[in-house]
Structure 1
Amino acid sequence: MSHNIDWEDLFGSDDEDEAVEQDENTKQIITFDAIPGLKLIKQALSHQEQMSLTHALIDRNYFTGNANQAMLFGELPNFIKWIEPWIVENYPDLFGQDILNRQPLFDQAILNMYKKGEGITSHVDLLRFEDGILIISLMSSCIMTMRPARKDATSYHAENTDDNNKYDILLCPGDVLALSQEARYDWEHGIPSQLVDEMDGQKIERGTRISVTLRRLKHGEEIQSTTATTSKRSVHDAQADS
C-alpha cells in the first residue's frame, strides 16, 4: 500500500522550525493537580525528530494493507530506542527515579495509525505492564479524555461513561504524554471517535494520526523479541493503546 504523504504540509519547512529547535531541550513539563502522574510536554519532539520517526514507521511497512497497528516486544529498534536516553537526559522529572533507573526503560511498543475520525475505547492498561507509560503523538492533533477508572473494573476494557469528572487533554504533533502512579492505575484514557475536536471554544479538525506508546513488561512476563501487526484496535483483543 502506497502512502502519499506531503511531509512539508505535515511538519512545515526546515526554515520554519529553526527557531523552535533552538529550545527543543528546554520544554516545560505540564502537570495536572487532579491527576497525579499525568505529565505533558508540548512539542517535545523537534520538527526533524517527528519527521524521522514518522518516516521510519512508514518505511518499515507497519501499516500496509489493512494493518493499523503493530506491536513490538523485546529489544526495541534503534529508531525508537533513542527515546530512552533522550527522556532521561532532558526530562528527568517526567517519571520517578524508580522508573527512570530501570534497564531497559521500555521493552514493548505499540504503533497505531488512526484514520481521520477514528478513536480508541477508554481503558486502563493491563497490570502485566509496569508503572510508567509514554505516548508520542504524530501527524495530527486529537483530544484524549481521562476519566476515573471504575474501582471494580478487572479487565483492560474498563469504559467509564461518567462525564462529570473527565479531563480532556489536547495532544498535538510532537507532544509527549507520560502516565505513572494514579494516572496509570486509577484513571482510564481514551480517544473519542469524531472528525472534529473542540478545546476552549476552538474547533480542531482531525487528520491521519500516528501514536507510539512505550511500556515495560513486568518481570516474569518477558516475551521473546517479536513484531506483530493487526487490523484490529480492540483493547480486549489487540491490547491497543493511545
Structure 2
Amino acid sequence: MGNEEHDIDWDELFGSDNDEEEEKNDIKINIESWSCIPGLLLARAAISHQDQMTLLQAIADHRYFHDNADQAMCFGALPAHFSWLETWVKTKYPELFPQDIVNRTPLFDQAIINLYHKGKGIKSHIDLLRFDDGILVVSLLSSCVMIMQKEDHKVPLLLRPGDVLTLSGEARYEWEHGIEEQMRDYIDGEWIERGTRVSITLRKLLTTS
C-alpha cells in the first residue's frame, strides 16, 4: 500500500483549538447500558473536545503511527498522556466498572492504540485471556458502529468521538466485539459516514505467580 494512503493531516483532524463550545468537566455524562449484555457500558461524550485533542496530539508527538504503522502498544506504567484516564475513572466515574476492578492498582498497565483509515474495521473477537477483567475503549475522530455478538445475537453500538466503552464480566468474556469493513454504517434509520478513526484501549495483564 502506498504512502499516500497512510499520510495523515493531523492539523486537519485535530480541528481548531479555539472551539468555544467546550463542555465543562463537571457536566455529568450519560452512561448507557444494555440489559441483554451485562457488563457493557457506554459513556456518551465522556471525553471533552479539548481532552480528545490532547490525546491525539500526544499520539502524534510520540509517533505511535510512524512508518505507516496502524497500531502501537504500551506495557507497564502507562505514560502520563494515557494514565490520567485511570484517575478519571476512579475519581469521577467509578460506576463504569464493578468495585473490585475500580479498586485494583494499577487499574490498567497496557494500552493499545489503533488507527482505522476510512472503511477499515476489526475482526469480531474476545480479548485474550492473558488480560484481566475490565477493558476501557476511548473512541476518537470518527464515528463508527461496533457489533457486539454472542452466537447469533448481534447488538450494534454507535461509537462517536469522545465516547468511552467499558467491558466487564459477561460483556468482556462471553461477547465478541468487532467493526465491519465498510465506508459507512446504517443504524437507527441513519447513515453514518466514516472517516479516519483512532481508538485507545486500556487493559490490565493478569499477574502470574
Structure 1 length normalisation: TM-score?
0.80
Work out whether 1:4 is the aligned partner of 2:3.
no
Aligned match of 1:89: 91
Aligned match of 1:199: 187
CA RMSD of superposed structures (Å): 1.7
Q: Could you report, residue by residue, the CA deviation over 1:110-157 in whole angstroms, capped at 9, with x for unpaired residues?
A: 0000000000000001111110000000000110000015xxxxxxxx
Aligned match of 2:137: 135
**4+ long deviations beyond 6 Å:** none
Distance of 1:113 and 1:17 partners within structure 2: 26
Unmatched tracts of structure 2, length 5 or more: none
Q: What is the CA-CA distance between 1:183 and the residue it aligns to?
A: 0.2
Unmatched tracts of structure 1, length 5 or more: 150-161, 222-242
Distance of 2:17 and 2:130 partners within structure 1: 42
Q: Could you report, residue by residue, the CA deviation over 1:189-241 in whole angstroms, capped at 9, with x for unpaired residues?
A: 000000001111111110010000000001118xxxxxxxxxxxxxxxxxxxx
Among 18, 21, 42, the alignment partner of 1:17 is 21
Secondary structure at 2:156 match in 1 = strand
Distance of 1:137 and 1:56 partners within structure 2: 15
Q: What is the CA-CA distance between 1:87 and the residue it aligns to?
A: 0.9
More contact order relative to length (CA 8 Å, sep ≥ 6): 1
Q: What is the CA-CA distance between 1:15 and the residue it aligns to?
A: 3.9
Check whether the contact 1:24–1:45 (CA below 8 A) recurs between aligned residues.
no
My pick for the range that moved more, 55-64 or 23-32, is: 23-32
Check whether the contact 2:14–2:56 (CA below 8 A) recurs between aligned residues.
no
Work out whether 1:49 is the aligned partner of 2:37.
no
Check whether the contact 1:11–1:47 (CA below 8 A) recurs between aligned residues.
no
Aligned match of 2:198: 210
Secondary structure at 2:95 match in 1 = coil
Secondary structure at 2:96 match in 1 = coil
Amino acid across the alignment from 1:3:
I
Distance of 1:147 and 1:100 partners within structure 2: 26
Q: What is the CA-CA distance between 1:16 and the residue it aligns to?
A: 3.9
Structure 2 length normalisation: TM-score?
0.92
Q: What is the CA-CA distance between 1:108 and the residue it aligns to?
A: 0.4
